[in-house]
């Protein structure tokens, strides 16, 4: 059987690896972005000089031939699902028996005048990194000449925007953030955590303009961006504009075909599309009926990996339900690490309650969310503090009571041994909030964690 995988991101490559693990089927991975799979989340570290391109390629170049996975660098422009054939921009026709669509995301563009100018890019593809490198040379040069720091303007206040801001900041390039909300990422973060990130960005010299929207990107005489114009009428001179107002599924070339598409490619719980023998995984896939507590489209690295493995099982062994488990995400806001497990909402519904502790330095916090009536733990939100995923997920999966979790919270802490522990402060905050007198049971270390995970 000939299996074609369109896209060489984590979803497509995971599918290829597991199909090879379970079968001798012919496998071809097609991508026009790069010759080999790379870690998309590590692009920023290449720019910042912490890693080289080869360091973010998880597999050696010989891996593909050894595992009989063919790689084709090509741009697919059309898919004829009835004929089971792909057509590339250079005139190739590629037949398939099974097709896995793993076409990923593309940065959102909202029809702003000037959005296609030179110097206007997102941060998703390898080509975006190359563009940042190309334009940064000019921006850094103006800094070295003492002519004043040329500026990058970043539109949209999500995680990709923070990465781009840190990248430019590492090269001494000034950054202005345009964020239409009144606090950074407050559609995801609760208000205290959002305020923490506002302060942290300012401490790093990032100009954060809240309640501000882009109206137009202005060109110079050579077709390159020279400034942005805001809705309020302010003009901000810049040599680069980063569009980081979210991403959307990369499915434009698949519209007006027999494939059912909404925002993404619609799939069932087995990741099957409306066309027999065609699957969709990763950022481009939209669940018709997502599992409880999950979104129809989740452009997250680990869910893409899980989808790739699931679809490989379905093709090679037996139909397998996609089960992403408990929601998890992690990121970094400059020096503040962020983790979330379970259901933590920016604006909590009435039946949710939470206990929150924040360090006096304003750079660490712990929030536990629980059901107001029953006390069942619902979520963990962590800033600058690391918790063990397995421990948090067990509490969430078993519906542990908030007071049980608080008393055992030392089991979750994953910071190095000599780091200060802050669980007792959170317990004290809960006691002040409720009038209770809970105490922390000081169980720490791997033996105690393993015993807890093995227990019923």
Let me know if residue 112 belongs to a domain: no
- The domain boundary residue, chosen from 316, 339, 361: 316
- List CB contacts of 276: < 8 A, sequence separation 6 or more: none
Q: CA separation (Å) from 408 to 15, 379, 403, 427?
A: 39, 15, 9, 10
- Examine the domain organization and report whether 176 and 154 are in the same domain: yes
pLDDT per residue over 334-349, tens digit each? 999 999 999 999 999 9
Let me know if residue 168 belongs to a domain: yes
Let me know if residue 111 belongs to a domain: no
Tokens describing residue 107: 């940065």
- The domain boundary residue, chosen from 203, 226, 245: 245
The band of 139, judged by pLDDT with boundaries at 50, 70 and 90, is: low
Examine the pLDDT at 7 and tell me if it is beyond 90: yes
- Examine the domain organization and report whether 182 and 261 are in the same domain: no
> What gap in Å lies between CA 379 and CA 341, rounded to an integer?
5
For residue 410, the domain's CATH number is 3.30.390.30
> In the predicted model, what is the mean pLDDT of residues 263-269?
97
> What gap in Å lies between CA 447 and CA 436, rounded to an integer?
30
- Examine the domain organization and report whether 357 and 450 are in the same domain: yes
Q: What does the longest C-alpha to C-alpha distance in the chain come to?
A: 73
pLDDT of residue 447: 78
Domain residue limits at 296: 2-106+248-316
pTM: 0.92
Examine the pLDDT at 427 and tell me if it is beyond 70: yes
- Examine the domain organization and report whether 276 and 307 are in the same domain: yes
> What gap in Å lies between CA 307 and CA 318, rounded to an integer?
15
Examine the pLDDT at 144 and tell me if it is beyond 60: no
- Examine the domain organization and report whether 310 and 357 are in the same domain: no
- Examine the domain organization and report whether 252 and 233 are in the same domain: no
- The domain boundary residue, chosen from 245, 267, 282: 245
pLDDT per residue over 210-232, tens digit each? 999 999 999 999 999 999 999 99
CB 411 within 8 A of CB 449: yes
- Examine the domain organization and report whether 77 and 172 are in the same domain: no
- Examine the domain organization and report whether 76 and 132 are in the same domain: no
**Phi/psi class of residue 211: alpha, beta or left (left: φ > 0; alpha: ψ in -120 to 50)?**
left
Let me know if residue 321 belongs to a domain: no
Handedness of CA 195, 197, 203, 209 (dihedral sign): negative
- Examine the domain organization and report whether 80 and 189 are in the same domain: no
Let me know if residue 147 belongs to a domain: yes
- Examine the domain organization and report whether 228 and 264 are in the same domain: no
- List CB contacts of 185: < 8 A, sequence separation 6 or more: 157, 158, 159, 194, 197
- Examine the domain organization and report whether 124 and 167 are in the same domain: yes
Average pLDDT, the chain: 93
pLDDT of residue 444: 67
Let me know if residue 114 belongs to a domain: no
Examine the pLDDT at 149 and tell me if it is beyond 60: no
Let me know if residue 296 belongs to a domain: yes
For residue 55, the domain's CATH number is 3.50.50.60
- Examine the domain organization and report whether 128 and 204 are in the same domain: yes
- The position carrying tokens 């059309």 is 78
How many distinct structural domains can be found in the chain?
A: 3
pLDDT of residue 143: 44
């Amino acid at each position: 059987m000939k299996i074609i995988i369109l896209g060489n991101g984590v979803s497509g490559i995971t599918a290829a690896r597991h199909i090879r693990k379970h079968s001798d089927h012919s496998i071809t991975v097609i991508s026009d972005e790069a010759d080999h799979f790379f870690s998309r989340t590590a692009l920023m570290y290449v720019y910042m000089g912490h890693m080289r391109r080869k360091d973010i390629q998880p597999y050696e170049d010989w891996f593909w031939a050894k595992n009989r996975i063919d790689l084709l660098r090509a741009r697919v422009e059309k898919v004829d699902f009835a004929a089971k054939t792909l057509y590339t921009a250079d005139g190739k026709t590629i037949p398939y028996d099974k097709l896995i669509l793993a076409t990923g995301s593309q940065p959102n563009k909202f029809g702003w005048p000037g959005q296609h100018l030179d110097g206007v890019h997102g941060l998703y593809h390898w080509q975006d990194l190359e563009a940042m490198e190309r334009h940064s040379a000019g921006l850094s040069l103006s800094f070295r000449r003492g002519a004043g720091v040329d500026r990058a303007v970043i539109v949209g206040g999500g995680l990709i925007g923070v990465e781009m801001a840190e990248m430019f900041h590492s090269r001494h390039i000034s950054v202005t953030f345009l964020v239409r909300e009144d606090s950074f990422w407050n559609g995801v973060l609760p208000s205290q955590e959002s305020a923490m990130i506002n302060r942290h960005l300012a401490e790093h010299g990032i100009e954060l303009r809240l309640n501000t929207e882009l109206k137009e990107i202005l060109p110079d005489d050579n077709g390159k961006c020279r400034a942005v114009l805001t809705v309020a009428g302010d003009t901000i001179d810049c040599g680069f504009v980063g569009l980081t107002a979210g991403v959307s599924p990369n499915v434009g070339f698949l519209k007006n075909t027999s494939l059912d598409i909404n925002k993404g490619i619609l799939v069932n719980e087995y990741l099957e599309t409306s066309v027999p023998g065609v699957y969709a995984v990763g950022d481009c896939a939209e669940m018709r009926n997502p599992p409880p507590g999950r979104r129809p489209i989740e452009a997250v690295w680990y869910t893409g990996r899980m989808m790739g493995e699931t679809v490989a099982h379905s093709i090679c062994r037996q139909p397998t339900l996609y089960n992403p488990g408990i929601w998890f995400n992690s990121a970094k806001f400059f020096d503040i690490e962020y983790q979330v497990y379970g259901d933590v909402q920016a604006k909590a519904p009435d039946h949710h309650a939470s206990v929150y502790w924040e360090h006096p330095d304003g750079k660490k916090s712990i929030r536990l969310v629980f059901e107001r009536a029953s006390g069942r733990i619902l979520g963990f939100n962590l800033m600058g503090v690391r918790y063990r995923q397995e421990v948090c997920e067990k509490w969430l999966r078993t519906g542990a009571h908030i007071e049980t979790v608080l008393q055992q919270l030392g089991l979750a802490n994953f910071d190095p041994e000599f780091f200060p522990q802050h669980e007792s402060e959170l317990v004290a905050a809960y006691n002040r909030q409720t009038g209770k007198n809970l105490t922390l049971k000081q169980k720490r270390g791997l033996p105690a964690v393993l015993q807890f995970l093995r227990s019923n």
